[in-house]
Structure 1
Amino acid sequence: MSARVTETGRGASPAVMNWLRGRLSNIAPFLTLLFLIVFFSIASPSFATLGNVGNILNQISITAIMAVGLTYVILCAEIDLSVASVANATGIVLAYFTLQDSYANIANVPVDGWAAILLALASCFALGAVNAFGVTRIGIPSFIMTLAMLQIGAGICAMLVRGQIAYNVPPLIATLGQKALGPIPYVVIVAAVFLLVGHLVLTYTRFGRYVYMVGGNREAAEYSGVNVKLVLASVMIISAVCSGTAGMVGVAYFGSAQQNEFDSYLLDSISAVVVGGTSLFGGRGGIGNTIVGLLVLGVLNNGLDHINIDSFLKILIRGLILLAALIINIYAQRLRSAQSAPAH
């Protein structure tokens, strides 16, 4: 009897270790989030309050909208470096054409701004379509293609505002960016809707399954009849539209549209997806991981403000956490490869 128990105990330990290794990229971000919450709650009495929870959600909302589209791209083992530039360009297009509507309004009739909203949405869709065409039809690596789009977006911004600041936005966008539904800001609601829809599409639709298939094994997806190029083109456009929406709402949230306004959001949105545990190699992760990554970054940034740490040190700490997430990401991929390799 004792021999059997001993054998069972020995067999259980490797099974548990294999289970933990297989879920390392999901467990590590969650433990990091718990550690940060406990640490900052002890370090600062003002951190663990209901009002501060609202502040954190408000602060990560714009990043969350961008990160939804970027999650789709990274799940396909691609990258989009143009998200911040597309957001900036779309926000400036919105403000620019809202201003043009105002100038054209010689009859003194209130302008609803729908034309500006539609033009802004069309512009981000077009920028995403250019990315999609370059990646799927010409064969340009997504890293290079979206790096070029980053410059194109910056050029559009410079051409429209010419170093000036625009303040006009349509009333609908102003409401979404600045007002609240009871105690909940509309920008938080918009972010929650994008995260929810993004999760439902990935989890319960055929397109979501195709995204995971393309990221997990592109050749196998092709043999299964999946139109890989169409899926890749779709995720590039989804990323651009999410970024454009974030840019429009962000312009109202910040109260103005100007060049380089969203530059810092490139690193933030990529960090949220990677820190949350979505694999850079594609096929693993999802919106749930991105939510955890967003909360890790939001709690970290907010908590560091509460303990009055040096602003330059904050940048270093964020970089170290991103590096740790990348190391875990690579290590988790190697563990999965080792487990799936046939035994000799």
Structure 2
Amino acid sequence: MSTSDSAVLPRNGGGLRWLRGQLRNIAPFATLLVLVALFSIASPSFATLDNVANIARQVSVTAIIAVGLTFVILCAEIDLSVASVANAVGIMVAFFTLQDQSVNIANFPLPGAAAIALALLGSVALGAVTAFGVTVIGIPSFIMTLAMLQIGAGICAMLVRGQIAYAVPAPIELLGSGSIGPVPWIVVVAILVLAIGHVVLSYTRFGRYVYMVGGNREAAEYSGVNVKLVLAAVLIISAVCSGIAGMLGVAHFGSAQQDEFDNYLLDAISAVVVGGTSLFGGQGGIGNTVVGLLVLGVLNNGLDHVRIDSFLKILIRGLILLLALVINVYAQRLRAKA
């Protein structure tokens, strides 16, 4: 074997190892490019600036929820209560706002700032209960957040009692349904929350702790990281992000009612997982979540443009999520072999 051959082989082997390690990141981006190309060819109205803005608006609520969920999944945990918490906090902010007298809801009207503060405190409290159950009692996050899903649904039912509330504080109404020029405020807020999440995970000590806990919990403990405190923090962050999304979502939809955010649980988990963040923890981040959000946004919007059957649309979304899960698990195996 020549010297040149021996020099090439290690580089090729290294390239293959790199490709295996990056499969989780490459596959979602390639999927996004393929979807954009297909829908652009299938529908002339898809690849327009107006439709790009429409996609951004459609995924904005999901994006805010997905930021908090990214923190949780990076720690190799799960939060099934995000949609329920969003719904509960959205109803809370309406409950604490003076209602139209024609709406038969016994509420507790407060000034706008106080209503927002109490609703946010409600999200912190729900997150703290989850964190206590997971870190102090030792309940697995899957079971604990499943219980919190039901508790959040119970709060929603208790506050609105089957009715629909419409009033929200003026700042929430502006951010949820207003615009700054041609750009909806809710898109601006979503971008800001994504940016903050990225900075925290990429450039702060807490962000490094999140990756350490998700990558190897035992090693993190030996390194002096307070694992339980990190887990509690990410669960509270998830609840607060869900609460913000819930308040803005109520204004965006124009009403607060039971079961309004039910679809957002699957959407938020799909965005994080489809984007390539590892279900096993320690790999991924907000950049992956952004790609996952775009994949879901383009997929849902594009299917509407080609006028596909709505029931088939649900099936296609499920298949995309299944494919992402397969890639996620397969990438983890390849990384372990590398």
Q: TM-score, normalised by structure 1?
A: 0.94
Do the aligned residues in 2 keep the contact of 1:101 with 1:113 (CA within 8 Å)?
no
Per the TM alignment, residue 139 of structure 1 is displaced from its structure 2 partner at its CA by 0.1
Structure 2: segments with no counterpart, 5+ residues: 103-108
Do the aligned residues in 1 keep the contact of 2:99 with 2:166 (CA within 8 Å)?
no
Query: Residues 109-131 of structure 1: CA distance to partner in whole angstroms, max 9, x if unpaired?
Result: x9751111111001111000000
* Stretch deviating more after TM superposition (268-277 or 115-124): 115-124
Do the aligned residues in 2 keep the contact of 1:101 with 1:111 (CA within 8 Å)?
no
Matched, 1:19 2:9: no
Per the TM alignment, residue 101 of structure 1 is displaced from its structure 2 partner at its CA by 11
Q: Distance in 2 between the 1:26 and 1:209 partners? A: 20
Per the TM alignment, residue 199 of structure 1 is displaced from its structure 2 partner at its CA by 0.2
Per the TM alignment, residue 3 of structure 1 is displaced from its structure 2 partner at its CA by 2.5
Matched, 1:40 2:39: yes
Residue 253 of structure 2 corresponds to which residue in structure 1? 254
Q: Distance in 1 between the 2:296 and 2:72 partners? A: 20
Which stretches of structure 1, 4 residues or more, deviate above 6 A after TM superposition? Answer: 100-103
Residue 114 of structure 1 corresponds to which residue in structure 2? 113
Matched positions, count: 332
Residue 212 of structure 1 corresponds to which residue in structure 2? 211
Residue 327 of structure 1 corresponds to which residue in structure 2? 326
Per the TM alignment, residue 99 of structure 1 is displaced from its structure 2 partner at its CA by 2.6
Residue 107 of structure 1 corresponds to which residue in structure 2? none
CA RMSD between the two structures: 1.5
SS of residue in 2 equivalent to 1:99: coil
Residue 317 of structure 1 corresponds to which residue in structure 2? 316
Q: TM-score, normalised by structure 2?
A: 0.96
Per the TM alignment, residue 168 of structure 1 is displaced from its structure 2 partner at its CA by 0.5
Residue 151 of structure 1 corresponds to which residue in structure 2? 150
Residue 51 of structure 2 corresponds to which residue in structure 1? 52
Residue 106 of structure 2 corresponds to which residue in structure 1? none
Q: Distance in 1 between the 2:228 and 2:9 partners? A: 48
Q: Distance in 1 between the 2:143 and 2:310 partners? A: 32
Q: Distance in 2 between the 1:58 and 1:284 partners? A: 28
Q: Distance in 1 between the 2:337 and 2:17 partners? A: 11
Q: Distance in 2 between the 1:309 and 1:142 partners? A: 37
Do the aligned residues in 2 keep the contact of 1:112 with 1:171 (CA within 8 Å)?
no
Do the aligned residues in 2 keep the contact of 1:84 with 1:266 (CA within 8 Å)?
yes
Per the TM alignment, residue 172 of structure 1 is displaced from its structure 2 partner at its CA by 0.4
Q: Distance in 2 between the 1:100 and 1:179 partners? A: 20
Matching residue's letter, 1:199: H
Q: Distance in 2 between the 1:235 and 1:263 partners? A: 22
Q: Distance in 2 between the 1:205 and 1:9 partners? A: 39
Residue 83 of structure 2 corresponds to which residue in structure 1? 84
1:1-344 map, 5 Å: 3-99=2-98, 112-339=111-338
Matching residue's letter, 2:185: Y
SS of residue in 2 equivalent to 1:330: helix
Per the TM alignment, residue 311 of structure 1 is displaced from its structure 2 partner at its CA by 0.5
Per the TM alignment, residue 102 of structure 1 is displaced from its structure 2 partner at its CA by 8.7
Per the TM alignment, residue 100 of structure 1 is displaced from its structure 2 partner at its CA by 6.3
